Amino acid sequence: MRTIRAFASLAAAGWLLAGAALAAPQHGIAMQGEPALPPDFRHLPYTNPQAPQGGQLRQAVSGSFDSVNPFIVKGADVTGIRTYVFESLLGRNWAEPFSLYGLLAESIDVSDDRQSFTFRLRPEATFSDGTPVTSADVVFSMETLRDKGRPGFKNSYSKVSKVETPDDRTIIFTQSAGDRELPLIVGLMPILSKAYWEGKDFTQTTLEPIVGSGPYVIGPVKAGESITYVKDPDYWGKDLPLQKGLWNFAEVRFDYYRDANAAFEAFKSGQADVRIETDPTRWATAYDFPAVKDGKITLERIEQRTPAATSGFAFNTRRKLFEDVRVREALVMVFDFEWANANLFSNAFRRTQGYYSGSELSFKGVPADQRELAVLGDAAAGLRPEFLDGTYQLPVSDGSGRDRKTLRKAVGLLGEAGWTITGEGLTNAAGEPFAFTISIVSKDQERIALHYQRSLAAIGIKADVRIVDSAQFNRMQRSYDFDMIPVTWFNSLSPGNEQMNYFGSQGRTAEGTRNYPGIADANVDKAIAAMLTATTREVFVAAVRAEDRLLTSGFYIVPFYNAGGQWVARWNHIGRPEQQPLPGFEATTLWRIP
């Protein structure tokens, strides 16, 4: 076992279990290698431990809610409740790719193969009702979330084969799945109060204030309108180094509005303190109101340091029409990003290159080294040179909306795949037309889909654009009953088990995964397996880049674009630390300037 710090004698702690291999516990754990912060760290690197305390943070969000239980499928839960009310055994340092440090647990002890892992709870840890957090609460949380919670909980926690609780503060987990990420996933499990839930139906929606162990408790709730989180003056963890500089407001309030425009108007009028803007046109043209001109509001762009979200129109390769990679590459060429960026988005976006765009995990600009080639194996011979040496880039048009040079290349590839432009449009040897449907759910998606439709029509392809309701769209996603849909995958600097759900071969036929394109590539599976078993960051990065090359060269989506960061507006009575965590703007580090 690895040793970082001994917190106490294992014998004194009562951990002497028959047949168990023992070693000194650790103050933290990293997915690969060792955590960056030492055992005696004072605070997280992106917080201000001297931040002023008090006041209220108000945020405007669009939508509605009918439940404060965020752990079940039923109902629409409120924003922020997991962040402010519930805690886990370990907490994240968002300045690292994936490292966790003791929160409810003061230590974690992990076997070399990560088949067993032990948490030791802090004696001072309590729920907001004053009752202690015990090993019984941890076991109850795992069993309840696994059996009654959202599907993702079951997928992860079902890998635990045995749980032992030799005393009220010790929990020993054993797995048989060989999943190196599982100790971290369990470390992030929200811990529920067994006593609070006794006699209550966990599967039902509720607006009753749920008991958690976090820095805030649920305050006033108006169903579908607003929720206020009130700082707990008796919060047990306020002096932990992991919590210093966070949770600076006396209250955090979320107000709900019918749509993004209404939420923006609330911010303009001073009814909300901060806003993360997602509409490029609004950012470019609408932030010229008096409060901005008078210097009462700060506008800033927080640079991206994690992978940009991978989004685009996904080809359903289960359809014969999209089986040929040459067809998919041709249709990627037809998408005129430059025209869309200038005419629809005020030139606010950049093209998303690959599945880890803008991060160290991207293959872009990086030749495959020996570590990667070992992961790729025979697949390397099938990759074009520009994918192996990292020089591939998406086509760049002349911005006219009808770039003849690019369209000719696309037609040439389609010709190689057996498609010809005739008087009836683009047809195959049997005279069948090239036609499909793009299914979408919003007006924003419709705008870009209609642009793509026009470009496709220029080479004889008939693409119908159809708006469906969200319930129907969800059914289409689950059953893969579509030709083409817009998709988004969010990748971090530490991709893990979710990659099999995103891109693993079983998703070709198994319903309910997020493998919307129907990718079934043994080489992709091999790359994912390599990243899941990597023990060093160098080997891990090589495996992820190999996956990135394979996915990008497969042309499974028509890639969209990203802002390269976040557009943030905040009233000047709200302060933030100069340094922000890797994912970007973080509301829990803010404070109200006196």
Q: Tokens at residue 590, please?
A: 């803010």
In the CATH scheme, what is the homologous superfamily, with its name and number, of domain 216-304+565-592?
Periplasmic binding protein-like II (3.40.190.10)
- For each of the chain's 594 residues, which pLDDT tens digit applies? 333 333 333 333 333 333 344 456 899 999 999 999 999 999 999 999 999 999 999 999 998 999 999 999 898 889 999 999 999 999 999 999 999 999 999 999 999 999 999 999 999 999 999 999 999 999 999 999 999 999 889 989 999 999 999 999 999 999 988 899 999 999 999 999 999 999 999 999 999 999 999 999 999 999 999 999 999 999 999 999 999 999 999 999 999 999 889 999 999 999 999 999 999 989 999 999 999 999 999 999 998 889 999 999 999 999 999 999 999 999 999 999 999 999 999 999 999 999 999 999 999 999 999 999 999 999 999 999 999 999 999 999 999 999 999 999 999 999 999 999 999 999 999 999 999 999 999 888 999 999 999 999 999 999 999 999 988 998 999 999 999 999 999 999 999 999 999 999 999 999 989 999 999 999 999 999 999 999 999 999 999 999 999 999 999 999 999 999 999 999 999 999 999 999 999 999 999 999
CATH of 10-34+86-197, one of 3.40.50.300, 3.40.50.720, 3.40.190.10, 3.90.850.10: 3.40.190.10
Strands 216-222 and 226-231: antiparallel
Helix/strand/coil for 466: strand
Where do we find the tokens 């976090």? 214
Query: How crowded is the C-beta side of 485, counted as CA atoms within 13 Å?
Result: 27
Q: Rounded to 5, what percent of the chain is helix, strand, coil?
A: 30, 20, 50
Where helices occur in 255-403 by DSSP H, the ranges are 260-268, 280-285, 290-293, 325-334, 337-344, 370-376, 385-388
For residue 117, the cross-strand partners are: 110, 173
Per-residue pLDDT at 88? 98
CB under 8 Å to 454, separation ≥6 — which residues?
A: 401
Strands 557-559 and 310-315: antiparallel
Tell me if domain 216-304+565-592 and domain 310-562 are identical in fold: no
Of 439, 455, 426, 448, which is closest to residue 327 (Cα–Cα)?
A: 426
Per-residue pLDDT at 24? 67
Quick count: other Cβ atoms within 10 Å of Cβ 118? 26
Buried b (16+ CB within 10 A) or exposed e, 490-501: ebbbbbbbbbbb
How many angstroms from the chain centroid is the CA of residue 253?
A: 24
Per-residue pLDDT at 209? 96
Where do we find the tokens 């901005």? 292
Per-residue pLDDT at 177? 86
Q: Are 169 and 135 in contact (CB under 8 A)?
A: yes
Per-residue pLDDT at 417? 97
- Domains in the chain: boundaries: 10-34+86-197, 216-304+565-592, 310-562
Q: Are 540 and 531 in contact (CB under 8 A)?
A: yes
The CATH number of domain 310-562 is 3.30.2010.10: no
Quick count: other Cβ atoms within 10 Å of Cβ 248? 22
Q: Which DSSP string do the residues of 21-83 spell out, in sequence order?
A: -----BSEEESSS--SS-TT--S-TT--TT----SEEEEEEES--SBS-TTSSSS-BPTTHHH
Q: What is the pTM of this model?
A: 0.86
Q: Using alpha carbons only, how large is the chain's radius of gyration in Å?
A: 26
Where do we find the tokens 């507006």? 569
| Residue range 376-403, pLDDT digits in tens | 999 999 999 999 999 999 999 999 999 9
